[in-house]
Chain A
Amino acid sequence: MSRMKFLCDAERCIDCNACVTACKNENEVPWGINRRRVVTINDGKPGERSVSMACMHCTDPPCAAVCPVQCIYPTEDGVVLHNKDLCIGCGYCFYACPFGAPQYPQVGNFGTRGKMDKCTYCAGGGGTEEPGSAAEYAKYGSNRFAEGKLPLCAEMCSTKSLLAGDGDIIAQLYGERVRTRGYGSGAWGWETAYHEDTKP
């Protein structure tokens, strides 16, 4: 059975932020909510690398484990979805997430959190809405997955750095790249997300 994953090839990522705006565009994500972001390590120094990061849709997702209302769950395809109707905005998933994925709209003064929002792998929501319906779109964004499409961030990546799809296939793709070019700094976050290491 296929199991969906993300893989960012840091040898290709150029911090162009296409993934970020593609996500915003596809899912109408409001200002201040960043389902996907690009972080640059060793900025301006030798060894600088940029990595695009969002929800990695972990194996044993820690967010799901800590959620006090159990609104987060992995689907059969390994996509981690959540039900906004159940979310109480407690913030636990953010503490548990190794990748800083959960986002919260501010709903009151100070830091009062609204219902959590995060990357859905462009697979709609984990609630009761009809897949691909307007109600689902309004709450979670688009459901490309239902149309047999992959997340738009990866589809629009300028250098084909960000890969999405079946974990085995993208790991194989990455492995081939590393063998061809003779280098690669590893799939960032894979060990933490999937308990497996995709290294050169």
Chain B
Amino acid sequence: MIAKVSNGVWIGQEPDYDSPINRGSHCCKGAAVRDDVLSQRRLRYPVKLVDGQWTRISWQTAISEIGDKLLDIRERSGPDSVYWLGSAKFTNEAAYLNRKLAAFWGTNNSDHQARICHSTTVTGVANTWGYGAMTNSYNDIRNSKTILVMGGNPAEAHPVSLQHILEGKELNRANMIVVDPRMTRTAAHATEYVRVRPGTHIPTIYGMLWHIFQNGWEDSEFLAQRVHGVDEIREEAKKWPPKEVERVTGLPEAQVKHIAELFAKQKPATLIWAMGQTQFTTGTANVRASCLLLLATGNVGQPGAGANIFRGHTNVQGATDLGLDVTSLPLYYGLSDEAWRHWCRVWDVDYEWMTSRFPSKTLMETPGIPSTRWFDATLLPKDQIDQPSPVQAMFIMGHGVNTITRMPEAIRGIEKLELLVVCDPYPTAWSVLSKRKNGIYLLPTCTSFEMEGSRTASNRSLQWGEKIVDPVFESKNDYDIMYMLAVKFGFADLMFKNIKVETGSVSAEDILREINRGGWSTGYCGQSPERLKAHMKNQAKFDLVTMRAPKDDPEVGGDYYGLPWPCWGTPEFKHPGTPILYNTNLPVKEGGGTFRARFGVERIVKRKVLENGQEVEREDHDNLLAEGSYSAGSEIKDGYPEFTLGVLKKLGWDKDLTPHELQAILRVSPTRPDSVSWATDLSGGIQRVAIEHGCSPYGNAKARMMAWNLPDPIPVHREPIYTPRPDLVADYPTLPDAKQFRVPNIGFSVQRAVVDRGISMQFPLILSSGRLVEYEGGGEETRSNKWLAELKQHMFVEINTVDAAERGIKDGGWVWVTGPESGSRAKMKALVTERVGKGVAWMPYHFAGWFEGADLRAKYPSGSDPIVLGESVNALTTYGYDPATGMQEPKATLCQIKAA
């Protein structure tokens, strides 16, 4: 997008035809972004709630009062009592800074929208083959022969991707299969649409695998060379003959067989998904099941194939990468002692000092509370929460409250907090939902158009965004706000040691350079600000399909657009980025790769086998490294572990390290230099040498169909907590109650109560939720945009014509929707349609500002109320958390609807 600016005012938008990703195209949100900046509904100055009135204060007063209160809470209850909720709308640099701020504050309670978005993808996919991100790219879908969309509606959620999908479909005469409970705008363009019951992804996949294994359609060579655990999956798939699949999913045998055959035989085939797989208590298992299908058919690591996992928001991929996650420091280093030491080295701070910021080393290395549970962590009795004290303050930067399930509980949570701070361009629903009269601060934060920084697209490409105009009104950018806080907390000098700050203005470029210096594990090390800016300047040179620039270009020669991570080594190493992960057809130096050796080199399993007619237990040493598969040009023609100095020495390649690199490695670990790895070597030397020899720095292993460290090592179907099929719960119950992420997860008890109390009789409709193309996330910004707000002026529920007729509900008429928890109810308009099948209701999740039928417009700071308000679907959604990530379950719950 190119902005026209006159006298500091943004007067027009021009399409950026040269962008290889969108070629100038937008959806309605993109085409309307100018009003995000110009909107008169923006919060103009800092305000605080005083006896129920919004009162204007200065930034100084705000930071001083907030800081004092936070420090007071920290003093009394420990740093974990403050929750730092960040944003997918951050730039990479702001996301990183926010995680760093939480670390300096002394807590792992730092999260963002990815929790409710793709946390299950990250966990599930990374545990399968190394990295939890989209393996290929939007552009690469142009190479696909079969496009299977399961659990995604890209036409409305990722409209620009459709130009690649539809054009690819047309050019290749490709199959485009959409499996979804709703006949979506995406399904309208499918060559085949399959209506499925929400929450039955795993049976559908096993149903397909049953046919694939039955007919020998699997890719045996791929499985033998690059996949571990296929035997376990064969066994599990046997439990899903067509009859059982039909009983659980409702899909007839012929249709399942047909799509399985297309996917396995008409290759390359890609599987696209988004929230339709992730937002379930089985989210992690769902995405793992998808990976199984891809692996079984050999559809990973080549153009036109892969797991094309569509990420939302401007920068949810980057914010995830940069560690706005309760389980990890930036770039998936985790929270181990080693991870903390690595980042302390990058930050140039003393590890002991960092430890002193935390109540204990244990808490420092324990995952925090997921954003889905913040109010449980506020409301539950102290003894049920595994940290010194419940959450008492929320510091929110760009995150809606209405995107998280169980809003009636969240409102009670807001009321119990001591302090609520919301940094956002808009007041958001946080400011109006509760009965609080005091203790809320709203800090006007500018949009990303009013600041510079990089963002990571879904395909792992980074793009540098220029500042278009100065922050409007009194708003400030994320960097400067965090700097002010750091000054208040007294650690600004330490935190910004290597980041330039001029008269309170923080250098985004310096933050990116710091990320480069520490981002080895994910290949965030090569994307310097200079290289990214060169890419933006030379956009026209990148190919539409391969996204590569011609090799002879002086500035960006041979690079893939946006240097998609992993972009190995230092910026000077000039790695071109990796457009397709695990692609063995290319040398690593040219963007190729192997499956990551992340889980050791072998797995010891005890198996029962028949020997001479007798069953004996045998100890197997399963080789986890690839066998006979390697990336092009590799000097090791087989699998290999991840590279360390020790490994280099064994291979005799350590001689290739420069003295400077060797010194840096010794500085990392003077005592055990051999243990310094490709991910902790701050010089990039180990990566460089491995790649010069054609090898992946992270090793060459098998993908894991069997992920023994997960709650369900192989995907197992489990009914949603609020299942419409209580008859299936006996066979497919959810996992037992347990404590996860410092809080209890009592899903099993809730599910049993749902069955025992006949909830599905009282609430006979399945309630699912999703996106509208006009709005984004909680919708505060987009519902305040006059061009977007006009297009969808009312909250609504989609209800099937038959269900509507039974209830006397007319299209466009008002209805009351009731939910099974907290006596929840919401008033909205009915959209009577065949988009949803009988028995299914669907709502968009972008609305807020109404609660239980009451319009809360008067409670917004005057003039800052969004143009369109409405009930939130999450006022009706219910309990249910993925045990591996804390993901909520808004895609499958129950409700009842009656005419109002």
Taken together as a complex, chains A and B put the C-alpha atoms of A22 and B25 apart, in Å, by 10
Find chain B residues with CB under 8 A from A43 CB: 833-835
| Contact across chains for A17 and B791 when beta carbons are under 8 A apart | yes
Find chain A residues with CB under 8 A from B834 CB: 43-45
Taken together as a complex, chains A and B put the C-alpha atoms of A77 and B880 apart, in Å, by 61
B605 adjacent to chain A (CB < 8 Å):
no
B758 adjacent to chain A (CB < 8 Å):
no
Interface residues of B in 29-51 (CB under 8 A from A): 29-32, 34-35
Taken together as a complex, chains A and B put the C-alpha atoms of A20 and B170 apart, in Å, by 25
| Contact across chains for A11 and B189 when beta carbons are under 8 A apart | yes
Looking across the interface, which residue of chain B has its beta carbon closest to that of A45?
A: B834
- Closest Cβ of chain A to B40, distance in Å, is 13
B380 adjacent to chain A (CB < 8 Å):
no
Find chain A residues with CB under 8 A from B185 CB: 14-15, 48, 50
Taken together as a complex, chains A and B put the C-alpha atoms of A32 and B183 apart, in Å, by 29
B721 adjacent to chain A (CB < 8 Å):
no
A110 adjacent to chain B (CB < 8 Å):
no
| Contact across chains for B24 and A24 when beta carbons are under 8 A apart | no
Find chain A residues with CB under 8 A from B30 CB: 18, 156
Interface residues of A in 1-45 (CB under 8 A from B): 11-12, 14-22, 24-26, 31-32, 43-45
Interface locus among B518-526, B635-643, B703-711, B782-790: B782-790
A14-B159, A26-B12, A181-B173 are known contacts. Are A49 and B188 too (CB-CB below 8 A)?
A: yes
| Contact across chains for B189 and A14 when beta carbons are under 8 A apart | yes
A11-B166, A14-B189, A182-B173 are known contacts. Are A156 and B774 too (CB-CB below 8 A)?
A: no
| Contact across chains for A24 and B32 when beta carbons are under 8 A apart | yes
Looking across the interface, which residue of chain B has its beta carbon closest to that of A33?
A: B790
- Closest Cβ of chain A to B771, distance in Å, is 12
Interface locus among A59-67, A111-119, A157-165, A186-194: A157-165
B156-174 interface bits toward A, Cβ cutoff 8 Å, 1 = contact, 0 = none = 1001101100110111010
A136-180 interface bits toward B, Cβ cutoff 8 Å, 1 = contact, 0 = none = 000000100000000010011111100000000000000001001
| Contact across chains for A16 and B28 when beta carbons are under 8 A apart | yes
B355 adjacent to chain A (CB < 8 Å):
no
Chain A residues with a Cβ closer than 8 Å to the other chain, count: 35
Taken together as a complex, chains A and B put the C-alpha atoms of A39 and B48 apart, in Å, by 44
B52 adjacent to chain A (CB < 8 Å):
no
Taken together as a complex, chains A and B put the C-alpha atoms of A32 and B789 apart, in Å, by 11
A158-B162, A160-B25, A177-B170 are known contacts. Are A21 and B155 too (CB-CB below 8 A)?
A: no
Find chain B residues with CB under 8 A from A50 CB: 185, 188
Taken together as a complex, chains A and B put the C-alpha atoms of A107 and B744 apart, in Å, by 61
Interface residues of B in 472-524 (CB under 8 A from A): none
| Contact across chains for A16 and B170 when beta carbons are under 8 A apart | no
Looking across the interface, which residue of chain A has its beta carbon closest to that of B174?
A: A181
- Closest Cβ of chain A to B728, distance in Å, is 28
Find chain B residues with CB under 8 A from A11 CB: 166, 170, 189
Find chain B residues with CB under 8 A from A155 CB: 15, 24
Taken together as a complex, chains A and B put the C-alpha atoms of A45 and B835 apart, in Å, by 7
Find chain A residues with CB under 8 A from B163 CB: 12, 158-160
Taken together as a complex, chains A and B put the C-alpha atoms of A187 and B136 apart, in Å, by 34
Find chain B residues with CB under 8 A from A152 CB: 13, 15, 31
Taken together as a complex, chains A and B put the C-alpha atoms of A180 and B166 apart, in Å, by 12
Residue in A17, A24, A49 whose CB lies within 8 Å of B27? A17
Taken together as a complex, chains A and B put the C-alpha atoms of A31 and B40 apart, in Å, by 14
| Contact across chains for A17 and B774 when beta carbons are under 8 A apart | yes
| Contact across chains for B171 and A180 when beta carbons are under 8 A apart | yes
- Closest Cβ of chain B to A175, distance in Å, is 13
B809-839 interface bits toward A, Cβ cutoff 8 Å, 1 = contact, 0 = none = 0000000000000000000000001111000
Instruction: Identify the interface centre among B170, B173, B773: most chain A CB within 10 Å of its CB.
Output: B170
Taken together as a complex, chains A and B put the C-alpha atoms of A142 and B156 apart, in Å, by 28
| Contact across chains for B31 and A21 when beta carbons are under 8 A apart | yes
Instruction: Identify the interface centre among A12, A18, A180: most chain B CB within 10 Å of its CB.
Output: A18
6 of the cross-chain contacts (CB-CB < 8 Å) are: A17-B791, A18-B28, A31-B786, A45-B834, A160-B167, A181-B169
- Contact residues of B with A, CB < 8 Å? 12-13, 15, 22-32, 34-35, 155-156, 159-160, 162-163, 166-167, 169-171, 173, 183, 185-186, 188-189, 193, 773-774, 786-788, 790-791, 833-836
List the 7 closest pairs (A to B, CB-CB), nearest first. A44-B835, A17-B28, A181-B170, A21-B32, A22-B31, A16-B159, A14-B155
